[in-house]
A and B are shown apart, each in its own frame.
Chain A
Amino acid sequence: MLRKLLSMAMFMLFFAATSVAQNGTVTGTVTDSETGETMPGVNVVIQELETGASTDANGEYTITGVESGTYTIQASFVGYQQYTQEIEVDAGENVYNIQMAPDVVGLDEVVVSALGFEENADEQGTSSAQVSGNDIAASGELDVVSGLSGKAAGVNVTGTGGDPGAASRIVIRGANTITGDIDPLFVIDGVPVSNATIGSGVGGVQQQSRINDLNPDDIESVQVLKGPSAAALWGSRASNGVVLIETKTGQATEGNKVNISVKSEWSVDVLNKTVDLQKKYGQGIGGSYVSGTPFSWGDKIADRPGGDDVMDMSDGNAYFGPDGEKYGVITQKNSRQTYDHSEAIFENGLKRDNSISISGGSENGTFRLSVGNVAQDGIILDNSDYNRTTVKGVATRNWDNFSATVNAQYTNSTSNRIQQGSNVSGLLLGAYRTSPDFDFRPHTVDYVNPDGSITPGKHRSYRNPVGAGDSPIYNNPLWTIENALNETQVQRILGSTELQYDPTSWLSFTHRLGVDTYTDRRYSVFPTYDASNPSGALTEQKLGQYQVNSDLIAKASHTLNEDFSGTLTVGWNVNHREYDEVGATSTDIILQGFNRDVSNYNSKNPFQERSTQRTSAIYGVLDISAYDMLFLEVTGREESASTFGENTDGSFFYPSASLAWQFTELDALSDNDILSFGKLRLSYGEAGTQPPIYSTQTTFFQGNIVGSWGESLNPAEYGGGFARSSEAGNANLKVERTTEYEVGADLRFFNDRIDLSLTRYITETEDAILGVDRAPSSGFSTQLANAGAIENKGFEADLSIEMIRSQEFSWVINGNWSKNINKVTSLAGANELGLAGFTSATSSAIVGEEYGVFFGNAWARNDDGSLTLDDNGFPQAAAAQKIIGNPNPDWRAGVGSTVNYKGLRLNFLVDIKQGGDVWNGTKGALKFFGVHGSQDWETTADQDLTTWDGGTIQEGETFRGYVEDFGGGPVAVTGVAHYSGPFSGFTGPAEPNIEDGGFVRLRQVSLGYSISGQGFRDATGLRSVDLSATGRNLLLFTDYSGIDPETNLTGPSNGFGLDYFNNPSTRSFIFSVKVNY
C-alpha cells in the first residue's frame, strides 16, 4: 500500500512531464506480479535512449518517438525488483506489458521518517525496523505491541500476563531513563497518542495498555525509530524511541471498484504452563491434620484409612452446603481424596475476531472504512474477558496541488479481570496455597452460628473451612471468580486531519491536527466476606486522557545540479495533554448483594487527580544528497514544556545528524556481482524525557496517613488536616538528556538475495530524573532530581536470506539478534533505587549494574563464598541485602521463515531469550505453606540427622524432608526449616527463588492458503479467499519452574522479572478465513 501511495505521489509529480515525439511508440500496462493490480507512477525507461515515462493512474505508460530497433527496457519502483527486458520496437504502437515482482527481501524499502513522511530506506543514516501490518495481524495477538514480539532486533516485547487484554511491556534497546516512562512514544499517522497503562501494582488486576485500542487489522505498517539519533525530532518524548504506526488507507482501484474484505478468526486459548503443587501431604502442621491452618505440613494422605472424615457438627463449627446437607469442622481426616488446585480454575478460552473493511478510490481520492470486533473469553472460568469494537474511517481527496485527509477511529472496549498477585483476594494466591486435600467446593455456605442461628451466604475457604467470622483470610478462588468483579469500559476517539498544499514543485505545506481522547470507566467490586474487604467494597473510577497535537510543516527542496540536491523542512509543533481521574473507594456495605451503588456503602473515600501538560517546539530538518551516494540529514528541535522547573531556562534544544553512504555507487563497486548494495551509516542524536508533572514545587495534601501495612487514618475525620508531602519539590528540574551514537551498515548480496544489517549503538542518558532518597529525619524522604545517569551499549543484526526466488515458489529465512548491555552509572550517591517489587526482592537501579537487577535478601556467606552456617549446620539469611539476580537477558534473537508456494504460505517464528532471571516469588511463598510441588519429599535417614530447630531424626526414620550438606555435614531439611527457618520466601532469603527465565519459544507457526487464481476470480467474482491456521506460543522451552517466564507482576513497569501469583499466560490455536471482494 505504501508503494501505492508513493506511486500516486510520484505520478502527480511527473504528470506534467510527459514528452512528445514522432517515431514508434512503446506502450503497456505495469502490474504487480502478485496481486495483478495496476501500478501508477512507475518509471519505465529505454536504457539506450535515456528516455522514458511514468505510468498513469491506470498503470499505463507511453513512450513516443522511439526509432525502430532493439532496446533494453527497464522499469523500477521502490519496493520492487528492477524489471529489465530486451524489446523490439517497430514503427507504430509496440505493446509491452510489464509485471513487477515485489522485493520480498527483508523489510519494505520505504520507511517513514520521524515526521511521518515516506522516504527511501536506502538513503537513511539511521537504523530502523519496519514490520508490516499483515505480519502483526498474523501473529494472533490482540494488540500491536505483542505482535512485534521477536520480529525486530532491539525491540524487546514482554507479555505481562495471560489475561484478556493485558498490556505488554515494550522497551527498545534498553531503558534510557531510570524512573521515567521507559516505553517509546507512539505516533499514529503522524499524531502522538497515548499508550498509558494505569493502575498496575503488586496486587490488583492485569491492566491494559491503551495501544490495545487499535485493531491490528487496520495497521499498514509499524516502524520503530530505535533511539534519539532517529527520533530527535520528537524531543523530550523520544529518548526511548518512537513507534510510528501507519494505518491502512484506501487504494485507487480499476473502474471505481469497491474492495470488500471480510475476516473471521476463531481462536482457542489454552493454559500454557502452570505451577507444580504437591498432593502427597495434607493440611496441618507437624505431620498431623489441623483444620483451618494455612499449612500443608500435615499427615501423609496415602496413610489415611480412607472413608468419610469425622466432623464436629456443633453450632459455630458447621455449615449447610448448597445441597442442604450439614457439614462441620473436620476433626479427623480419613479421606484420601486430593484436588488439583493448579488447573481446576481454568478452562479453554475462546476468542472471536471478526472484521470487515470497505475501500476504494480513484486518482481524485480514496477511502477505507472498517469495523472490527474481538470477543475473548479468558482461560479463567468466569469474569475474565475482553471485548473490543473498533470503527475506523479514512478518506483522502486530491486536487491538483492540494489534498486533504480525514482519519477517525472509535473504539469501545469492555473487559472483566480477575485479581492477582500479592493480594489475599487474588486468584492464584488463594488457589495455590490451598491444601491438596481441601475441596474448595462449595465456596458459599450457610453458616451455623455459635448460638444456633444461620447466616446465609458465607465465604468458605481452606483457612476458614466452615465460613465462620467475616473473613476467609484468603479468598476461595472459585468465590473470587464468581463474585469479585473488576470491570473496565474504555471509549476512545482518535481523529486527525491532514492538509497538504503544494504551491510549486519545490515547496509544500502540511498541516496535521490530531485529537486523542478516551475515558476508562472502572468498577471494582469486592462483595461482603471478601478477604481484603470483609465488609464489602466498591471502587468506582473514571479516568481519561485528552491530547491535542498540531504540526505545521513547510518543506522546500532544491536541486543545485546533477550532483547536489537538498530539502529543508521546518515545522511548528504544539501539544496539549490532560489527565482527569475521579472516583471513590467505598466500604462497609449496607445491603449485601447490592454491590454497585456508592450510596449503599457506609464509608466512602473519594479521590481525584487532574493534570495538564503542554509542550511546544520549533523544528527543522535539512536533507542533502550528493552524487546519489551521500545522504546527510541534520535536524534540530527547540522545545519548551510546562513540566520544567521555574529555575531552568524553560526550553531545550535537541540536535541530530546522520550520514548514509551508498559506497556501492562508487564506480569500482557498482557492477559487483556479489555485493549488490552497500551502505554505511553514521548518526548522532539527542532526545529527552520530561520531568514528571508537578514535581517542581513542594505541596501539602489532604489525604490518608497510611501505615506500611495499609492501615490508615484520614485527617478529615479529625477536623481536617493538610500534611506536607514527603517529596520535596525541585524548582531546578530540567529535561533528561539522552545522547545516542550509532554506526552501522546495510549490505545486500547476490542480487539482493541476502540482506544484512548491522548496527552498533551507544546511548547515554544524563540528568536522569529520579527520586533521590533523602534521610527521612530531614523531613522529606525523597526528592526528584536530575541526578542519575544510565547508558546502553548494544549490537543489532538483522539478516534475511532469500533461499528461493521464483514466480511460484519463494522461501525466505530471516533472523534478528540483539544484545544490549545496560549500566546505571549514577544515582546521585544513593546505593539502591527500588523500581518494583517487594522488600525481599526488588527490581532495582544500582550504580554499576544493569537496570532492574534484583536487590534482596541473600544467604549469609563467608569470605570464601561458602555459606555461613548456624549451630545446627544450616545456612542463614545475611543481615544486609545485596544483588541476587539480573532480569536482563544476555541476548535476544528471533528466527523466522516463510515459504510461499503458489497460494500456499507457511511461516514460523522462533523467539529466543538467553538468560534473564525471574524472581519466582510464588515458589518462595508456596514453600512456606508446604504445598510447592517440590515438597513431596519422603526420605529415610541413613544416619542420625539434625533438623533446623535442633531436633534429631534417628537413623532409619522416614521423614518428610531431604538431606543436604551445606558444608557442616548432612542435615535434614524438614517442614520447620520452611515455616520457621529460612527455607521459604517468607521466612528466608529470596536468593534461592531467583531462576533463569531464558526461553526458546515457538511464538508463531502458521499455514495459509490463498485462493486467487484467474479461474476462481472469474467464477466467483471475488479477488481472493485466504484461509489460515496459526498456532501461537505452541512450544516453550525453559528452565523456569513457575508459569511462563514472560510475565511481570507489576505490568509494563520499569521494574521487571517479578512473578508472584501472576495469572498465567496462554497458547492459542487460531483459524481464520478472509474473503476479499
Chain B
Amino acid sequence: MKFTNIKYIAFVLLLVGVIGCDSVTNSFTDGYNENPNNPTSAPADKIFVAGQVGAVTFLESHSARKGSMWAQYFSGEDRQYSSIYSYNVTASDSDSDWFMAYVRGLTNLRLAREKYNALNVVPQNQVATTKIWEAMLMGQVTALWGDVPFSEAINSDETTTPSYDGQSSVYSSVQTLLNEAITTLEANSSVGISSDVTSLGGDASKWLKVAYTLKARYLMHTGDVSGALTAAQSGIDAADGTGDALMPHGPQQARNQNLYYAFTNVERAGYLAADRSHALDMLNNGNNGKTDETARLNYYYDGTDLNSTDGFAAATESFPLVTYMENQMIIAEAEAAKGTTAGNQNAIEALNNSRDYLDNKFGTDNYDDLVLTDFEAGGAYANTDIPQHVRNWTYLGLIGQIEGFNFVRRIDYNVDGLSPVQGSEFPQRFLYPQDERNTNSDNLPDPVPGLFDATPVNQ
C-alpha cells in the first residue's frame, strides 16, 4: 500500500513538472538577447559621419564609374563592366547604387538630423549641414532616376513602401533644403561644424558657398539658367581649390583608400580603363597655342588606364564632390547661353577662372587666358563657338563624377565628337533597381522607363 502511494505521488509530481513550468525555463533564458556587438542607438555626430561616408560611397563608387562609362570618360574592359559600357545593363545592376543612396546615405543623414533636432540645444549648423548633404545626395538621385521616393522615404514606421515623388517635386525639395541651410548658415557663419568628413574642415562659411553651388547645379538641371547664375555667383569662389568640397583619402585598404583606386587596383583590376575614352581623346587632341592639356591628361590617365599612381585614381587622392571648377562652368554656361557679347565676355572670364584653377591644381602654367578673338578666325578655338567650347570644357571638368553624366544628358550629349558606343542612342538614366521593383512595384512609374528613356527634366 505504502509502495503504491509513493508511486502515485511520484507520477503526480512528474506530471506537475511538465505542466506550468514557464518560470523555471524563463528564468534561465531571460536577459540574454541583448546584442553585445552592436548598440541599439548612437549619438547624432556618429550617425552623421556614417551618413556622410555612405553618401560619398554612393557618389564615388559604382554610380560614378557607371556614369563615367556612359559619359565615355572611362571604358569597361572586362566582364560585367564591358557589358555596362556597351549599354547592356539590367535592373539588378542598380541595386547597390540605390541601396547606398537610401539605406547608407539618406537614412543616416535624416536620422542624424532628427537626433540633432532632439537635443536640448539644437546645433543649427549641424542641422543645416545635414540638409546640404541630403540635397547633394538626393539631387543626384533624382537626376539619375527621375521620379524617386523622397517625402515618404526613410520612414518605415509610417510606410514600408514609400511613394515616388515627381522629379520636379524632388528638385524643388532639394532647393528648399538648400535654402533652409543657407538661411541658417548665413546667420551663424562663424560657428564651426563638427563631424565634417570633407576637406572643408567644418568651416560654415565654406559650406555656405557649397550650398550655393549646389543650388546652381540643380537649377541648371531643371533649366532655370538665370537662377543658377545668380546662385553660382554666391558659390565656391576660391580659385586655389581651398573652397572645394572634397572627400579626403588615405593609403589604408578598405578604410580610407580612394574608391576608384580600390576598384581599379584592389578589387577589380582590369575592369575599368580608358582604352575607349572620349575624354582621353579630347585631352590628347586638346593642345593648341593657348592650352597645354598634358598635365590634366596625365592627372586622369596613365596610358589607357586611370592614373592610380599619382593622379585622379591614386589611393590617397581626394575625390571631388563640389568644386570651384563646376561653379565657374555653370557661370560660363549660363552666360554663354545669353548669346550676347557681354554674356560671351563673362563666359570667357569664367573659363579663364577655371583655367587658373587648373594651373593652381597642377602647379603648371598650361592654360593661358582666353579672349573673344580666340573663337574667331585664326584663334586657338576658331572652329568652335563659345557655347560649344563651354560644353566641351565642362565635359572635361567633370571627369569621373556622376555630375559629368548628368551634364551630358542635360545637353543631349552635345560634346564634340561624342557618339554612342553601341547603337544609335545614348543612355538617359539609371534603371530602377530590381530590389525596388520586387518590393515597391506599385509605386514605381508605369511603365518602368528603360535605359534610353530620358528623365522628365531632360524630356
List residues of chain A with CB within 8 A of the CB of B360.
none
A439 at the interface (CB under 8 A from B): no
The answer to whether A709 and B61 touch across the interface, beta carbons within 8 angstroms, is yes
List residues of chain B with CB within 8 A of the CB of A610.
36-37
Give the Cβ gap from A636 to chain B, nearest Cβ, in Å: 6
The answer to whether A778 and B438 touch across the interface, beta carbons within 8 angstroms, is no
Give the Cβ gap from B11 to chain A, nearest Cβ, in Å: 6
Instruction: Say which residue of A614, A723, A986 sits within 8 Å of B51 (CB atoms).
Output: A723
1/0 per residue, CB under 8 A from B, across A178-196: the answer is: 0000000000000000000
A616 at the interface (CB under 8 A from B): yes
The answer to whether A715 and B35 touch across the interface, beta carbons within 8 angstroms, is no
1/0 per residue, CB under 8 A from A, across B98-137: the answer is: 1110111011100100000000000000000000000000
Give the Cβ gap from B7 to chain A, nearest Cβ, in Å: 7
Contact A986:B254 (CB < 8 A) given known A556-B11, A611-B36: no
In angstroms, Cα B39 to Cα A729, docked, is 12
Interface 9-residue window, one of A567-575, A674-682, A899-907: A567-575
Interface 9-residue window, one of A52-60, A656-664, A768-776: A768-776
List residues of chain A with CB within 8 A of the CB of B262.
710-712
Instruction: Say which residue of A533, A574, A773, A879 sits within 8 Å of B435 (CB atoms).
Output: A773
Contact A294:B78 (CB < 8 A) given known A640-B25, A723-B51: yes
List residues of chain B with CB within 8 A of the CB of A717.
250, 252, 255-256
Q: Which of B100, B162, B263, B266 has the most CB of A within 10 A?
A: B266
The answer to whether B47 and A694 touch across the interface, beta carbons within 8 angstroms, is no
The answer to whether A719 and B78 touch across the interface, beta carbons within 8 angstroms, is no
* Interface set, chain B 29-71, CB cutoff 8 A to A: 29-42, 45-54, 56-57, 61-62
In angstroms, Cα B51 to Cα A608, docked, is 23
In angstroms, Cα B191 to Cα A464, docked, is 54
User: Which residue of chain B lies nearest to A570 when distances are taken between CB atoms in the complex?
Assistant: B14
Contact A568:B11 (CB < 8 A) given known A640-B22, A699-B40, A718-B53: yes
List residues of chain B with CB within 8 A of the CB of A619.
18
List residues of chain A with CB within 8 A of the CB of B263.
707, 709, 711
Contact A636:B37 (CB < 8 A) given known A709-B61, A721-B53, A775-B161: no
Contact A620:B14 (CB < 8 A) given known A713-B56, A722-B47: yes
B440 at the interface (CB under 8 A from A): yes
A612 at the interface (CB under 8 A from B): yes
1/0 per residue, CB under 8 A from B, across A467-487: the answer is: 000110100000000000000
List residues of chain B with CB within 8 A of the CB of A324.
none
In angstroms, Cα B48 to Cα A609, docked, is 24
Contact A777:B108 (CB < 8 A) given known A473-B269, A556-B10, A707-B61: no
List residues of chain B with CB within 8 A of the CB of A535.
253
A344 at the interface (CB under 8 A from B): no
The answer to whether B439 and A608 touch across the interface, beta carbons within 8 angstroms, is no
A831 at the interface (CB under 8 A from B): yes
In angstroms, Cα B438 to Cα A832, docked, is 8
In angstroms, Cα B5 to Cα A641, docked, is 36
B1 at the interface (CB under 8 A from A): no
User: Which residue of chain A lies nearest to B26 when distances are taken between CB atoms in the complex?
Assistant: A640
A1066 at the interface (CB under 8 A from B): no
Interface 9-residue window, one of B80-88, B224-232, B325-333, B365-373: B80-88
In angstroms, Cα B103 to Cα A702, docked, is 15
Give the Cβ gap from B395 to chain A, nearest Cβ, in Å: 25
Contact A774:B25 (CB < 8 A) given known A642-B32, A707-B57: no
Contact A725:B25 (CB < 8 A) given known A642-B30, A717-B256, A779-B154: no
Interface 9-residue window, one of A363-371, A489-497, A643-651: A643-651
Interface 9-residue window, one of B89-97, B179-187, B215-223, B376-384: B89-97
List residues of chain B with CB within 8 A of the CB of A750.
none
Q: Which of B53, B91, B155 has the most CB of A within 10 A?
A: B53
The answer to whether A700 and B53 touch across the interface, beta carbons within 8 angstroms, is no
Instruction: Say which residue of A558, A712, A726 sits within 8 Å of B103 (CB atoms).
Output: A726
The answer to whether B38 and A701 touch across the interface, beta carbons within 8 angstroms, is yes
B234 at the interface (CB under 8 A from A): no
Instruction: Say which residue of B35, B99, B255 sits within 8 Å of A781 (CB atoms).
Output: B99
The answer to whether B51 and A700 touch across the interface, beta carbons within 8 angstroms, is no
Contact A779:B254 (CB < 8 A) given known A640-B26, A722-B47, A723-B108: no
Query: Majority SS of interface residues in chain B?
Result: helix
A716 at the interface (CB under 8 A from B): yes
1/0 per residue, CB under 8 A from B, across A771-811: the answer is: 00111111111000000000000000000000000000000
The answer to whether A705 and B149 touch across the interface, beta carbons within 8 angstroms, is no
A951 at the interface (CB under 8 A from B): no
Instruction: Say which residue of B32, B153, B159 sits within 8 Å of A614 (CB atoms).
Output: B32
List residues of chain A with CB within 8 A of the CB of B47.
700, 721-724
In angstroms, Cα B57 to Cα A986, docked, is 26
In angstroms, Cα B80 to Cα A716, docked, is 31
In angstroms, Cα B30 to Cα A644, docked, is 10
A603 at the interface (CB under 8 A from B): yes
The answer to whether A603 and B255 touch across the interface, beta carbons within 8 angstroms, is yes
The answer to whether B438 and A831 touch across the interface, beta carbons within 8 angstroms, is yes
The answer to whether B156 and A779 touch across the interface, beta carbons within 8 angstroms, is yes
A665 at the interface (CB under 8 A from B): no
B268 at the interface (CB under 8 A from A): yes
B392 at the interface (CB under 8 A from A): no
User: Which residue of chain A lies nearest to B196 when distances are taken between CB atoms in the complex?
Assistant: A719
Count of A residues near B, CB < 8 Å?
Answer: 104
In angstroms, Cα B3 to Cα A725, docked, is 63
The answer to whether B88 and A533 touch across the interface, beta carbons within 8 angstroms, is no
Contact A534:B79 (CB < 8 A) given known A709-B61, A776-B436: no
The answer to whether B29 and A554 touch across the interface, beta carbons within 8 angstroms, is no
The answer to whether A718 and B100 touch across the interface, beta carbons within 8 angstroms, is no
Contact A986:B79 (CB < 8 A) given known A713-B256, A725-B38, A778-B153: yes
Give the Cβ gap from A512 to chain B, nearest Cβ, in Å: 17
User: Which residue of chain A lies nearest to B46 when distances are taken between CB atoms in the complex?
Assistant: A722
The answer to whether B42 and A781 touch across the interface, beta carbons within 8 angstroms, is no
The answer to whether A708 and B96 touch across the interface, beta carbons within 8 angstroms, is yes
B402 at the interface (CB under 8 A from A): no
The answer to whether A779 and B80 touch across the interface, beta carbons within 8 angstroms, is no
Instruction: Say which residue of A507, A713, A832 sits within 8 Å of B57 (CB atoms).
Output: A713
The answer to whether A724 and B266 touch across the interface, beta carbons within 8 angstroms, is no
B433 at the interface (CB under 8 A from A): yes
Q: Which of A558, A605, A697, A781 has the most CB of B within 10 A?
A: A781
The answer to whether A775 and B57 touch across the interface, beta carbons within 8 angstroms, is no
List residues of chain B with CB within 8 A of the CB of A568.
11, 14-15
* Interface set, chain B 240-296, CB cutoff 8 A to A: 250-257, 259, 262-263, 265-270
Contact A776:B433 (CB < 8 A) given known A707-B100, A713-B56: yes
List residues of chain A with CB within 8 A of the CB of B40.
697-700, 729
A93 at the interface (CB under 8 A from B): no
List residues of chain A with CB within 8 A of the CB of B62.
707-709
Give the Cβ gap from B388 to chain A, nearest Cβ, in Å: 33
The answer to whether A773 and B439 touch across the interface, beta carbons within 8 angstroms, is yes
The answer to whether B29 and A640 touch across the interface, beta carbons within 8 angstroms, is yes
List residues of chain A with CB within 8 A of the CB of B83.
986-987
Q: Name 13 interchain pairs, CB-CB below 8 A, sorted by A.
A: A424-B269, A534-B265, A588-B252, A608-B37, A618-B17, A618-B21, A620-B18, A638-B18, A650-B29, A723-B104, A724-B47, A881-B92, A986-B80
A-binding residues in B (CB < 8 A)? 7, 10-11, 14-15, 17-18, 21-22, 24-42, 45-54, 56-57, 61-62, 78-80, 82-83, 86, 88, 90-92, 95-96, 98-100, 102-104, 106-108, 111, 148-149, 153-156, 159-162, 195, 197, 250-257, 259, 262-263, 265-270, 433-436, 438-440
Known contacts A534-B269, A711-B61; 8 additional CB pairs below 8 A are: A471-B269, A694-B34, A702-B46, A709-B62, A717-B255, A721-B49, A724-B108, A780-B160
B-binding residues in A (CB < 8 A)? 294, 424, 463, 470-471, 473, 506-507, 531-535, 537, 554, 556, 558, 568, 570, 572, 574, 585, 587-588, 602-603, 605, 608-620, 636, 638-644, 646, 650-651, 693-694, 696-702, 704-705, 707-726, 728-729, 773-781, 830-832, 839, 857, 879, 881, 928, 980, 986-987
